[in-house]
Structure 1
């Protein structure tokens, strides 16, 4: 793993823009002020810069892979801690600390950036002592005892796992579609549906004659089959 490649993943324009947009949405959605935004931005920058500072002192590729491995585990544990705290705050008092919510969200961005750079074998090793890789986060199977005893405790455990999976899936979907909120995802889906419908209308009068496909509808093209 090349050092410049790792640094680019954590500092490129697309990454920093997504983080900035997420912060802006947080400020608006939770009615935060610019000073609070500045504090969160400072926290996030320190996480990135401290990691890059460590990487800059390492030259051996194998050691860089080890550092990626350890940082991934560290951040994933931190994300799970934040997410658990958020869930209990929501349950106990009806809402959660906005700082915890944005930190969990931004930590997800770093995890998604690091994940493709970690070897599958390493992800498997992480899975053995922690949880499944975050890009494959699933509801963990309960132990045989829990399966035999459908207690309230086991049901709560499953619900917590479902909430964690849904929370991460939402964050990753927003990032992959370059959207800042759920409304943006709906707009993207509607746009795709409109494109498919338009293509269907253009091709609805097509036919095959003597090994050739003719489009006699709105789209005037001919595809010659060999």
Structure 2
């Protein structure tokens, strides 16, 4: 069952960069040619945008998305000139392995507020298994990772962030969360969580999960 977020809630627009304006950018729409200003943190690199379109094209609801239909011709032409297809594993390795795709206003333990991207990831601390502090629920492990373009189109995620399937520690490890909109359907006591809901003390575990995903994705590609 879909939660009404993801590509039904937000859309991708193909634009040309016109001018850098510090924390914002002036861009020109690919179709209408209109120019407008957007926060710089909301701009995706071109290849990442292609990854988004490719992920949505594999969804059963793609035909019901007017904005995607407007860009489907662009995606088809890109595929013709790039017969090898998209390489999400390579993109994660080169661009996201030391970067968290997070929320619009994510505050870290030092009080720094990050907008959509946080880098570099921490390498000096990992929360001990079962440890809880500062109001956080206890995390046992990170089972799985999916990149933001897959999460955006995923029925259990729906936001454009790094998402992780989190195995919760006792006393929640045996609870069935499958009826929740972000509950795992494959693991007991686990839910899908966006990066902004997981502290940076888990960064080492996040990177480990990203590497596992990269290995599996290379096999699928």
Q: Tell me the TM-score normalized by structure 2.
A: 0.27
Q: Which has the higher strand share?
A: 2
Structure number, greater radius of gyration: 1
Q: Tell me the TM-score normalized by structure 1.
A: 0.27
Q: Which has the higher helix share?
A: 1
Q: Per chain length, whose mean CA-contact separation is higher, i.e. which structure has more relative contact order (CA < 8 Å, sep 6+)?
A: 2
